[in-house]
A = this chain, B = another copy of it.
């Protein structure tokens, strides 16, 4: 590390739970650490607990030992060693690089922002994506997302098999001699994801009215003749990339209203996927799905404090985060080649039930490439 750099970018986070840091580091580190990015080089400062691993296996050009750098910072800043925290390290590097401008992400810790501000560094906060290039997925990244979707599909197939094997007894589903609950089905799904090397969290298994509350994960006994939304978004342990898939099932006999609802959601999804291609706006994709619902007479409206109809956006970017850039919603900008997005329209009416169907596509020049694969049979007798 010799060169000066007029602009540096700082990250302070654990790559285990911060996607930008994982993108920069290419390796999982469980505790927050400092990364310094210049035009030419990427540096990391990690403790001895991480040093060997990060020095060998990360994307960084140079990895420095925290214990050494703290000593140097103390000398340079003429402070006691115990006073040297992350903020002081940043000030030390800012001096060492003779920096004029420092950029940080929007979620950079306020405490460190304030410390640098007081030291005379007026940070530029990057609103929106810190690495806009993260939205464009190369082949290896698309493959990692496919793996995530394969894990999600394994989970959904496991759930389907259980619903198929379950018996209907009055208003309950019986499996393995006792009531089948959202919780039991979730465990079975999450275990199937694990066999594919992916960790699922907050898997949604929500039936009936519960499914109309889009972030309700679902609890208690599942019932026959009700729509059951299963939404699985596992993270592949090796890469950190996610899958994200949703299917809606019904065990028993669907009503006409339920059949029409599901058919309309599937039609909306097809319509949305059909318009996806490079240069098309995310808002146009959303309108394609919305148009199908409007034409079919499904109203989106407020009822008191809750909402019914098509109450969320059509999709979102997917990658190292479950929700990331770009948006596929009202007001969203142009899709570009390589963007990976979910297409997941849904309809929610407590008197009928909720239905959402979700797949993942990568935007291409002429259309899109499907990164998820799972049939759409949903009525299970």
* A contacts, CB < 8 Å to B: 16-17, 28-31, 48-53, 55, 65, 104-114, 123, 125, 127, 183, 187, 190-191, 194-195, 197, 199, 201-202, 213-217, 237, 302, 305-307, 311-312, 323
Does A53 lie within 8 Å of B215, measured CB to CB? Answer: yes
Asked whether A312 lies within 8 Å of B199 as measured between CB atoms, the reply is: no
A107 touches B109 (CB 8 A): yes
Compute how far the CA of A115 lies from the CA of B222 in the bound complex, rounded to whole angstroms: 46
Query: Is B106's CB under 8 angstroms from A29's CB?
Result: no
Contact assessment for B215 and A29 in the assembled complex, using a CB-CB cutoff below 8 Å: yes
**A305 with B65, Cβ < 8 A, contacts A30-B215, A311-B49 known:** yes
A327 to chain B, nearest CB (A): 13
A234 to chain B, nearest CB (A): 11
**What is the CA–CA distance of A351 and B294 in the complex, to the nearest angstrom?**
70
Task: Give which listed residue, B29, B110, B195, B199, contacts A199 with CB less than 8 A.
Answer: B199
Looking across the interface, which residue of chain B has its beta carbon closest to that of A32? Answer: B107
Q: Which residues of B contact A194 (CB under 8 A)?
A: 187, 190-191, 194
Interchain CB contact under 8 A, A48 and B311: yes
Chain B proximity of A214: nearest CB distance (Å): 5
Q: Could you list 8 A-B pairs, sorted by A, with CB under 8 Å?
A: A16-B201, A30-B215, A49-B214, A50-B215, A110-B113, A110-B125, A191-B194, A191-B195
Bound CA span A65–B107, Å: 24
Copies of this chain held together in the complex:
2
Residues on B with C-beta less than 8 A from A216 are: 53
Query: Least Cβ distance of A366 to chain B in Å?
Result: 33
A199-B197 contact given A108-B110, A114-B113, CB 8 Å threshold = no
Q: Which residue of B lies closest to A217 (CB)?
A: B28
Q: How far is the CB of A192 from chain B (nearest CB, A)?
A: 10
Q: Which residues of B contact A53 (CB under 8 A)?
A: 213, 215-216
Query: For the complex, what is the distance from the CA of A311 to the CA of B51, rounded to whole Å?
Result: 13
Instruction: Given A110-B104, A110-B109, verify A49-B305 contact (CB < 8 Å).
Output: no
Pick the contact of A213 from B30, B31, B52, B108 — CB < 8 Å?
Answer: B52
Nearest B residue to A12 via CB reads B107
Q: Report which of B17, B29, B127, B306 forms a contact with A51, defined as CB distance below 8 A.
A: B306
Expressed in whole angstroms, the minimum distance between the Cβ of A176 and any Cβ of chain B is 13
In the complex, which residues of chain B have a beta carbon less than 8 angstroms from the beta carbon of A107? Answer: 109-111
The interface residues of chain B lying within 8 Å CB-to-CB of A50 are 215
Given contacts A48-B306, A187-B195, A305-B51, contact A323 B109 (CB under 8 A): no
B110 touches A307 (CB 8 A): no
B202 & A16 in contact (Cβ 8 Å cutoff): yes
What 8 A-B pairs come out closest when comparing CB atoms? A106-B111, A110-B113, A108-B110, A107-B109, A111-B125, A48-B307, A49-B214, A191-B191
Assuming A49-B311, A113-B113, A187-B194, what are 9 further A-B pairs, CB within 8 angstroms? A30-B202, A48-B307, A49-B215, A52-B306, A53-B216, A107-B109, A108-B109, A110-B112, A110-B125
Q: Is the CB of A190 within 8 A of B197?
A: no
A187 (CB) vs chain B CBs: closest residue? B194
Using CB atoms, name the residue of chain B closest to A210: B53
Q: Write out the residue numbers on chain B whose beta carbons fall within 8 Å of the beta carbon of A109.
A: 106-108, 110
Contacts of A104 in B (CB 8 A): 110
